Structure 1
């Protein structure tokens, strides 16, 4: 299987992606859910953090995040939803999605990422998220206004990813 991870291309695809991901939860969600509203409103400016996974052209999951700390008021990005259809799980795609969002958030100069993790807490803990109920991960920035600091932080995230990939 060849997977492609890329930003959502249009508002119509955002609806489709949310519905595919939302269908994976015990209590399914659709784009008519209130959680979709924030994503749709922020789509034009935060599209780079709204990612889908394709397998041979078929949408099989993704991760949707946006700037704004609604999961945790002290953070700059909220990871609203991440999910994959069952036959595409356990292949490292969830980790790759989160890493891509972290890299983009770092590039944008944000302080951290928050999420309201009710499920898959172990997954998020392995990726460095902390907290109970709402989880949070500070991104490695020493100065949010210094472009050199952002470059170094982004390189640090990339180096961690390379080290994990070499370890597997």
Structure 2
């Protein structure tokens, strides 16, 4: 199987992706759920953090995130939803999705990523997220990496760690 992770290309695709992802939860939901509104409102600015996974052209999962408050440097990102259809789980795709969201958030100069993890808490803890109820991870480019050269170096370090992990699998 060859997985392709890419950004959502249109608002219509965002609706379809949200519906597919929402169907993977114990209590399924669709784009008519109130949680979709934040994503739709932020789509034009934050499409680079709204990702889908395809296998042979078929949507099999994704991660949908957006910047909160005023979208700009130093703000936080909310990872609204991440899911994979059951037969594609356990292959490192979820980790790759979270890493891609983190990498893009870092590029945008975001402080950290928050999520309301009711399920899969161990998965998020393994990736460095902390907290109870709502989990959070500060990104390496938060306040202590203010200048462009430091941000570039930290981003390169993240990319190198990601490539090393990919090579080891």
Q: TM-score range by the shorter chain?
A: over 0.9
Question: Corresponding residue for 1:159?
Answer: 160
Q: CA RMSD in A?
A: 1.4
Any gaps of 5 or more consecutive residues in structure 1? none
Question: Corresponding residue for 1:103?
Answer: 103
Question: Corresponding residue for 1:55?
Answer: 55
Number of residue equivalences? 163
Question: Corresponding residue for 2:113?
Answer: 113
Q: Is the contact between residue 129 and residue 135 of structure 1 (CA under 8 Å) also seen in structure 2?
A: yes
Q: After TM superposition, what 4+ stretches of structure 1 lie above 4 angstroms from structure 2?
A: none
Distance in 2 between the 1:60 and 1:167 partners?
24
Distance 1:127 1:75, change over 3 A: farther
Any gaps of 5 or more consecutive residues in structure 2? none
Distance in 1 between the 2:43 and 2:13 partners?
11
Q: Give 1:75 deviation, angstroms.
A: 6.0
Distance in 1 between the 2:145 and 2:154 partners?
10
Q: Give 1:116 deviation, angstroms.
A: 0.3
TM-score, with structure 1 as normaliser: 0.93
**Structure 1 residue 143 and structure 2 residue 140: aligned?**
no
For 1:117, what is the secondary structure of its paired residue? coil
Q: Give 1:166 deviation, angstroms.
A: 3.8
TM-score, with structure 2 as normaliser: 0.92
